């Protein structure tokens, strides 16, 4: 699958080149695995395979960019000024999507939203959003105690896999005393809480 029809003005080879320019080998290979997993999930759940492929491949394009570039983009694009208080973990998704739009000429909002939402999710998630979020969590090289359970859930239900992963992410942040971007609490309330 090398052509993306009207979804992107560049082909996959160009994106691969750009990823290699911007990422070390380890992170680049992670992107390939997330792409493969996203395609697999899109086929399984009958979602748009091309969008899953592009968003999965590019989701971490900005992961190793300097902080100054994100801060400049937050100001230039008039994004939520509170974003400045966070770091690369939050920026490479939410702010990264703006950089990807400009540098890789991608303007398909379904793809950009999946990239925006891949770290903290969102109360509203399309199937492509869910697929990229889940693929990032369960790609073949992931190895943490709960990954088998996450993979099992992802075979039958995107929503159950999402819920599991958001809860796990939040638990990780709390256990490690990491700063919480409030949006993930909204995601938690939407996807994890069982009764309101
Ligand atoms: Fe990421
Ligand atoms: Fe990732």
Summarize pLDDT for 106-159 with one digit per residue, the tens: 999 999 999 999 999 999 999 999 999 999 999 999 999 999 999 999 999 999
Distance 92 CA to ligand 1 centre (A): 6
Cα gap 150→94, rounded to integer Å: 24
Distance 196 CA to ligand 1 centre (A): 30
Q: In this structure, which ligand is nearest to the CA of 116?
A: 1
Distance 61 CA to ligand 1 centre (A): 8
Distance 156 CA to ligand 1 centre (A): 24
Q: In this structure, which ligand is nearest to the CA of 137?
A: 2
Distance 32 CA to ligand 1 centre (A): 13
Distance 115 CA to ligand 2 centre (A): 10
Tell me the average pLDDT across 164-193.
96
Task: Determine the pLDDT at residue 68.
Answer: 98
- Single pTM value for the model: 0.95
96-106 tens-digit pLDDT? 999 999 999 99
Task: Determine the pLDDT at residue 121.
Answer: 97
Model confidence band, residue 10 (pLDDT cutoffs 50, 70, 90)? confident
Q: In this structure, which ligand is nearest to the CA of 27?
A: 2
Distance 72 CA to ligand 2 centre (A): 23
Q: In this structure, which ligand is nearest to the CA of 97?
A: 1
60-87 tens-digit pLDDT? 999 999 999 999 999 999 999 999 999 9
Model confidence band, residue 37 (pLDDT cutoffs 50, 70, 90)? very high
- Residue of 196 and 58 predicted with greater confidence: 58
In the chain, pLDDT over 70 holds for what percent of residues?
Answer: 98
Residue 2 has pLDDT above 60, yes or no: no
DSSP codes of every residue in the chain: ----GGG-SS-HHHHHHHHHHHS-HHHHHHHHHHHHHHHHHHHHTT--HHHHHHHHHHTTTTTTS-HHHHHHHHHHTT--GGGGGS-HHHHHHHTHHHHHHHHS----HHHHHHHHTTTT--SS--HHHHHHHHHHHH-TT--STTHHHHHHHHHH-HHHHHHHHHHHHHHHHHHTT----THHHHHHHHHT----
Task: Determine the pLDDT at residue 8.
Answer: 86
Task: Determine the pLDDT at residue 6.
Answer: 81
In the chain, pLDDT over 90 holds for what percent of residues?
Answer: 93
Q: In this structure, which ligand is nearest to the CA of 115?
A: 1
């Amino acid at each position: 699958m090398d052509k993306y029809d009207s979804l992107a003005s560049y082909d996959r080879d160009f994106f691969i080149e750009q990823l290699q320019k911007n990422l070390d080998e380890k992170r680049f290979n992670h992107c390939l695995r997330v792409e493969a997993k996203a395609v697999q999930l899109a086929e399984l759940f009958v979602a748009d395979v091309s969008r899953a492929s592009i968003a999965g491949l590019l989701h971490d394009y900005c992961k190793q960019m300097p902080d100054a570039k994100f801060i400049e983009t937050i100001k230039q694009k008039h994004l939520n000024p509170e974003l400045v208080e966070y770091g690369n973990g939050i920026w490479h998704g939410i702010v990264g999507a703006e950089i990807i739009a400009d540098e890789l000429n991608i303007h398909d909002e379904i793809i950009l939203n999946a990239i925006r939402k891949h770290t903290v999710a969102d109360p509203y998630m399309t199937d492509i959003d869910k697929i990229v979020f889940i693929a990032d969590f369960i790609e073949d090289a992931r190895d943490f105690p709960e990954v088998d359970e996450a993979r099992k859930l992802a075979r039958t239900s995107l929503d159950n896999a999402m819920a599991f992963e958001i809860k796990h992410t939040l638990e990780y942040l709390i256990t490690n005393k990491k700063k919480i971007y409030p949006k993930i609490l909204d995601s938690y309330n939407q996807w994890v809480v069982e009764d309101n």
